[in-house]
């Protein structure tokens, strides 16, 4: 193994990134070294690349970013003796303390001392990445490499969509980014009777139909609330999966939700959001779930079961680039005219 590797580095407190040669990390006790086979671009990576307000307050360059990947184990740290070299893996990207109240009560996904790969520690836009052994997820051999590389957002979608009952229910998904698109396929697979989806982007709405949406609405052109109420005979949908985080999306979603329905909110607003709690929440008697990450590791077993049961995520993967083409890849991701974008080392 060489002593250095290619890595995409957030090298300065400014827009962009740089492909550099950096030292290959050595696994510490309890860790493994994974040779990266494929990675994928996430919305968080776009924020880091574009150097938005969130990134400016969180990211400390220089940092190898990226957190969606798959690969194979090539080196074991001290004390790791239960996984073989060459094992094909993905990984949970939230490194938790295991000691806080939340970790000790089965809620490690909201650990108070969490570190996120590619955000707080060096990530996977590299030829090798170092990961705690406990965070590895051993992949079924039949799972395609590119699907294996997007287990992180797949898990976000599973956690959101399967928080409560979907069987026989009508579902509205607001925001057809990659996680929203995956949630469409999950909802159909899990027995939703009809799935509605909304977005601003025509490319994403076309993908939404390919992933199984029964009816799509373009924000600003189609009347979402009126359309949903018409399709549900004035009742509203049973379930809202909110993936956009935009104030109008949240409010339109809640107005489209029937009395006694449930909503799961994953999309992150840029600031406070005004909602009519009396009319849209309290008097309607709805349940609202806030979703953060993936339950560890309940969500991962659900993901495995869905894939074994035939869930097909391949239509979501639309573009592929080499690390050396990262600028083209990120410009495309920022445009929104793509599904998941795979980056190969």
DSSP annotation of 25 reads P
Q: How far apart are CA 49 and CA 43, in angstroms?
A: 10
- For 24-61, how does the pLDDT look when each residue is reduced to its tens digit (9 = 90+)? 999 999 999 999 999 999 999 999 999 999 999 999 99
DSSP 291-312: --S--TTHHHHHHHHHHHTT--
Q: How far apart are CA 89 and CA 148, in angstroms?
A: 8
Phi then psi dihedrals of residue 319, to 5 deg: -145, 150
Q: How far apart are CA 145 and CA 41, in angstroms?
A: 15
pLDDT of residue 318: 98
Q: How far apart are CA 212 and CA 197, in angstroms?
A: 10
pLDDT of residue 1: 85
Burial category of 123 from C-beta neighbours within 10 Å (exposed 0-12, middle 13-18, buried 19 and up): buried
Q: Which two tokens stand for residue 219?
A: 């924000």
- For 248-261, how does the pLDDT look when each residue is reduced to its tens digit (9 = 90+)? 999 999 999 999 99
- Residues in the chain predicted with pLDDT less than 50, given as ranges, are none
DSSP annotation of 126 reads B
| CB hemisphere CA count around 219 (13 angstroms) | 20
The pTM score is: 0.96
- For 211-238, how does the pLDDT look when each residue is reduced to its tens digit (9 = 90+)? 999 999 999 898 999 999 999 999 999 9
pLDDT of residue 268: 94
Question: Ramachandran region of residue 168, left (φ > 0), alpha (ψ -120 to 50) or beta?
Answer: left
Domains in the chain (CATH in brackets) are 4-150+313-344 (3.90.180.10), 158-290 (3.40.50.720)
Catalytic annotation, residues? 44, 47
Q: Which two tokens stand for residue 125?
A: 């836009």
pLDDT of residue 199: 97
Can you give the length of the chain in residues?
345
């Amino acid at each position: 193994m060489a002593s250095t590797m290619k890595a995409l580095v957030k090298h300065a407190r400014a827009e962009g990134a740089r492909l550099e040669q950096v030292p290959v990390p050595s696994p510490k006790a309890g860790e493994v070294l994974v040779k990266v086979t494929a990675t994928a671009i996430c919305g968080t990576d776009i924020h880091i690349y574009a150097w938005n307000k969130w990134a400016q307050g969180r990211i400390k360059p220089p940092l190898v970013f990226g957190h969606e990947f798959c690969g194979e184990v090539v080196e074991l740290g001290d004390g790791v003796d239960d996984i073989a070299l060459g094992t094909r893996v993905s990984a949970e990207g939230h490194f938790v303390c295991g000691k806080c109240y939340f970790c000790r009560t089965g809620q490690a996904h909201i650990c108070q001392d969490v570190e996120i790969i590619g955000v707080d520690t060096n990530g996977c836009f590299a030829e090798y990445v170092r990961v705690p052994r406990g965070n590895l997820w051993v992949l079924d051999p039949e799972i395609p490499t590119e699907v294996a590389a997007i287990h992180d957002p797949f898990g976000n979608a599973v956690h959101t969509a399967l928080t409560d009952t979907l069987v026989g229910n009508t579902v509205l998904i607001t925001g057809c980014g990659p996680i929203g698109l995956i949630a469409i396929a999950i909802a159909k697979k899990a027995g939703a009777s009809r799935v509605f989806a909304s977005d601003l982007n025509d490319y994403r709405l076309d993908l939404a139909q390919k992933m199984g949406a029964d009816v799509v609405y373009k924000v600003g052109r189609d009347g979402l609330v009126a359309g949903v109420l018409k399709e549900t005979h004035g009742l509203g949908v049973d379930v809202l999966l909110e993936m956009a985080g935009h104030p109008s999306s949240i409010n339109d979603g809640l107005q489209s939700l029937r009395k006694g329905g449930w909503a799961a909110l994953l999309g992150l607003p840029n600031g406070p959001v005004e909602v009519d709690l009396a009319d849209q929440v309290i008097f309607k008697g709805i349940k609202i779930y806030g979703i953060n990450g993936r339950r560890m590791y309940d969500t991962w077993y659900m993901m495995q079961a869905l894939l074994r049961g035939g869930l097909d995520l391949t239509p979501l993967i639309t573009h592929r680039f080499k690390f050396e083409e990262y600028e083209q890849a990120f410009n495309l991701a920022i445009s929104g005219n793509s599904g998941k974008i795979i980056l190969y080392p």
